[in-house]
Structure 1
Amino acid sequence: MAFWHIPNAIMQATQPTFFKQGPKPLTRVLIFSALSIALMVGDAYYQLLGRVREQVSVALYPLQWLATAPTNAVIEASNFLQRQTELIAENRALNDVRLIAQGQEMRLKALEAENAHLRALKVANENNPRESQLTQILYNGRDPFGAKLIVDRGQRSGVTEGQIVLDASGVVGQVVRTQPMTSEVRLISDREHMVPVVVARNQLRTVVYGTGRQSPLEVRNMAPNVDIQVGDTLLTSGIDGLYPAGLPVAKVVKVERAAGTAFARIQCQPLAAIDQHRFVLLLNAPPTLPPYPESTPAPKAKGH
């Protein structure tokens, strides 16, 4: 055993000074503890390390920023996506509210227009020469070349063929066919419809003819020098026994008196808003007119 300890002693004796150990660990702990306590006390009461901390914080700030940059980037991206999702949802909700409000506004305007039309019909009903009943337009007739309407009043409501249909502005047409629950109305613009009228300005009697749906009415077979002017109002004459006298029918919008023609070309615009409303008035059937006088045979000539 002694043989092995001899080289160790020789090696320790021959070690350079920079390989020698410093103070013992316990001594180091005591020294550094005392130094730490002194620095804490000095910093707490005398702010000895304030400038040092400032310089160290400035030097360490880039490292701190680099260390926290990925986490901050993830947080910012998450917050951005969350805000985008919230904004999209809020935008959709506001758009839905806007669409609902626009729909309600449109319905409100339609109801206001319909209410104004019904009030006008009420006034017209009070001024009509006959009693009438309110009816609603269901749909247009099936014939694409005709000008007809189907209304929701029929035989069960006392509607008969020949009844006149009006709105607040004038004559719409005439009932030409009845069913138990509905009736078919031929408009004054229909090609097969004609109305005896008088010019309100001079009481000139004539007849106005339909030329097709959404086409102007015509006054036919009138001489070029006839006293009809643009702007004249045509009223029902009442001589046909169907239309009461004095109902507005049309307004003259064009008069052409070409040289060398046998008749003037006169176009009129219906006063009734045929394609604009859902409700019209049905005038009750006219009273029975007295029969035509019977013709008596001519007396025979006596022979000579």
Structure 2
Amino acid sequence: MDFANTPSFFRSGPPPAARLAMSVLASLALLIGDSRYALMEQTREGLSLALYPVQRAVNLPAQAMRHVGDYLTSQTELKQENTELRARQLQMSAQLSRLQSLERELNELRQLNAIHAQRDDAAQIAETLYTGRDPFSYKIIIDKGADAKLLPGQPVVDARGLLGQVTRVQPLTAEVTLIIDKNQMVPVMLERTSERAILYGYGGGVELRYLPQNSDVKEGDKVVTSGLDGVYPEGIPVATVTRVEHNTGATFARIAALPLAGVQQTRYVLALQAKQTPARPAEPPPLPDKKTKGGKKTADEE
């Protein structure tokens, strides 16, 4: 060891053993004083405050990595939860649609059963299978036919009103022509005034014809069957007046109406028995001419 460059303080100071003993004693004194009287508490607080930025700087990379990992984990979990929630929402929407459809069908069946219970005839509840093949005609096919003793001409209603008329009967099915078909007409009357008219289909809608210009008809009037044709029973709801046009010079008013029955969305229908009316009485024979006797000409006329 080069003692030439050693400071004079260490060269002339106490021996190493004395220095060691002094250091041990000072350490013991500090330990006892700190444990008994908390002499170093403020010093530790000051050092901790001074070294806090360094501690934060040292821990910053680890904290940043932990935050990034938590963020990525949260994003993955959120995406998975969103996917599960979307799938569950679609399932719930499908179930809700099915429940609403079943509830609507149940209400239709209840209303049809109520109508069936009010009638004394052998009405038949049927289900719509499909629509007709001709796109220019408005017809539906129901699941009752000759096996249920259906006959052509029977009126068909749903829970809201008149739907149409049976026009063709097969062994297991029947064809129903809707009132909106262009070849269909129904004798009706206004429920408010009892004025009679004829309701015609024009291919997608209905209108009232043969009501004079001065007839008391208003928008919102309810139209029911009149029962004068011997086919449709009296009082079945048919349509509601939506527009009334009085054209100058025309003999009859032009009246548009909206069908009450679900002509395009009804699933369950009720086939009623046609109204039974007595046969028309025979016409009386023509009276003989006053100038004849027993149907022969007199001699004067010859």
Name the TM tier (shorter chain): 0.7 to 0.9
Q: Report if the CA contact (8 A) 1:174-1:185 is conserved.
A: yes
Matches within 5 A, 1:124-273: 124-128=115-119, 130-201=121-192, 203-213=194-204, 215-220=205-210, 222-225=211-214, 227-230=215-218, 231-273=220-262
Relative to the length of structure 2, the TM-score reads: 0.76
Amino acid at match of 1:217: E
Q: Report if the CA contact (8 A) 2:142-2:173 is conserved.
A: yes
Q: Check 1:37–1:233 CA distance in 2 against 1; reply closer, same or farther (3 A cut).
A: closer
- 1:278 is matched with which residue? 267
Farther off after superposition, 86-95 or 235-244: 86-95
CA apart distance, 1:184: 1.9
- From 6, 31, 37, give the equivalent of 1:18: 6
Farther off after superposition, 274-283 or 29-38: 29-38
Relative to the length of structure 1, the TM-score reads: 0.76
Q: Check 1:234–1:45 CA distance in 2 against 1; reply closer, same or farther (3 A cut).
A: closer
Q: Report if the CA contact (8 A) 1:233-1:251 is conserved.
A: yes
Query: Is 1:81–2:72 an aligned residue pair?
Result: yes
Q: Check 1:39–1:193 CA distance in 2 against 1; reply closer, same or farther (3 A cut).
A: same
> How many angstroms apart in 1 are the aligned matches of 2:99 and 2:234?
37
CA deviation vs aligned residue, 1:249-278 (integer Å, no higher than 9, x gap):
234443333222233323333232323432
> How many angstroms apart in 1 are the aligned matches of 2:28 and 2:175?
110
CA apart distance, 1:291: 8.2
Query: Is 1:43–2:31 an aligned residue pair?
Result: no
Superposed CA RMSD in Å reads: 3.8
Aligned length: 289
Amino acid at match of 2:149: G
> How many angstroms apart in 1 are the aligned matches of 2:126 and 2:56?
81
Q: What percent identity do the matched residue pairs reach?
A: 39
> How many angstroms apart in 2 are the aligned matches of 1:287 and 1:223?
30
- 2:291 is matched with which residue? none
CA deviation vs aligned residue, 1:132-171 (integer Å, no higher than 9, x gap):
1212223332222222222222333333322210123321
> How many angstroms apart in 1 are the aligned matches of 2:46 and 2:194?
111
CA apart distance, 1:286: 5.4
Q: Report if the CA contact (8 A) 1:166-1:173 is conserved.
A: yes
- 1:3 is matched with which residue? none
> Secondary structure, in 3 states, of the residue corresponding to 1:118?
helix
> How many angstroms apart in 2 are the aligned matches of 1:16 and 1:251?
126
CA apart distance, 1:188: 0.7
Q: Check 1:297–1:73 CA distance in 2 against 1; reply closer, same or farther (3 A cut).
A: same
CA deviation vs aligned residue, 1:159-199 (integer Å, no higher than 9, x gap):
33222101233211011223343322111111000112344
> Secondary structure, in 3 states, of the residue corresponding to 1:142?
coil
Q: Check 1:264–1:62 CA distance in 2 against 1; reply closer, same or farther (3 A cut).
A: closer
Higher-Rg structure is: 1
> How many angstroms apart in 2 are the aligned matches of 1:207 and 1:17?
134
Flag structure 1 segments of 5+ consecutive residues without an equivalent.
Answer: 1-11
- 1:8 is matched with which residue? none
